[in-house]
Structure 1
Amino acid sequence: MTEVTFAKSFLSVLDSRPVKLSPDHVEDPKSYAARGAYILPKMPKTMSKRKSTSVAPGQERSLTVAVKSLRNPPLDIKITSQTLNTSVLDIKTSVSKDTGIPVDKMKLLHKKKPIPDSKVLKDLAGESETSIEFSVMVMGGAAAIKTPAQTDVAQGQSGEEALGTNEFWDDLKGFLLQRIRDEKKAAEVADTFQAAWKAKS
């Protein structure tokens, strides 16, 4: 393509484009084409006003978390002032401190659906909600609860001294009576234990 043919094609393209009007151009209103009124389309949903929250500017909204369980063991725990970035794992840890249930034996459910530990309250609570409720499912039930080890040591006599007292043998008779539920048999077994101990010593 020569320069002349290129120039001709370029000018023809420019001629085909609409003429730009100058900023001070005035058109006669009588020559306007008739146009119908333009009506804006209706929105599918009416716009609702945003509910104002009582949180001060710069302050983060906090939630009250309720953890409930109707099964064994029954639970009804409320944890107040939890931020929106509090994770489900943090909630489980708080419940574990109060109840002694291990975190790995606990499953939290929101609206009857299990929630992973990585979720935060922001993902689960609505904008206007001030509280959120979880139901807890304990794997293994009451058997999963760790009973704190007893640190109190029994005071008083021990060893040979305890076995030489009548109180020890009376306690043994009482224990055997609870188990056997026959006073005569319990006394016989207790006497057998006492006789065997005396024969050994």
Structure 2
Amino acid sequence: MPAVCNVVVLISGSGSNLQALIDSSQADDSPVRIRAVLSNRADAYGLERAKAAGIDTCVLDHKAFAGREAFDAALIKAIDACEPHLVVLAGFMRILSSDFVRHYAGRLLNIHPSLLPKYKGLHTHQRALEAGDGEHGCSVHFVTEELDGGPLVVQAVIPVRSGDTLDSLAQRVHEQEHLIYPLAVRWFAEGRLRLDAQGAMLDGQPLPGTGHLIRP
């Protein structure tokens, strides 16, 4: 991995995880350089976060394309113009085509608000509460063609409290997302994290199926 790791971040919304990544990348010893932030929504507040940090932005409205493949092809072209070493999904609310995922195999990360493989998809906090789970959390994983199913890198595990509401649980999970996503991106930027035939590797050793577990 070069001394500076070029990262492109894809967003669709407020960009709170993007802000955590920006803040982390501004540390003096950070090897992460966020080259651009791309969104499929022109009203995504994360674009304002990027502009405030002096990061280039680009909007590609998915509704302007004939279908998913055409949109993803344009997205690949826009991303590749930034010559990224890593592409990071931070609340990018689009299901990506197989061609897109294969193009960035081994250099595409996502964060998901559940302890995968539990609760793939949407409404994860509600599902955890309805199931009466004692623990909940969030997961960073490499993206593969299986939705929310790629090898896990790191998970933060928090207890579900007796008085938790949807909002209180979501807030505490978000706090952990903002810690573990910059951590995983930094591991990749430092050359410590990679994906190979054995799965996710950290410091040359295979990560367990749960990824690296953090219990704040």
Range of TM-score over shorter length:
under 0.3
- Higher percent of residues as helix: 1
TM-score where L is the length of structure 2 = 0.21
| Greater strand proportion | 2
Q: Which has the larger Rg? A: 1
TM-score of the pair, normalised by structure 1: 0.22
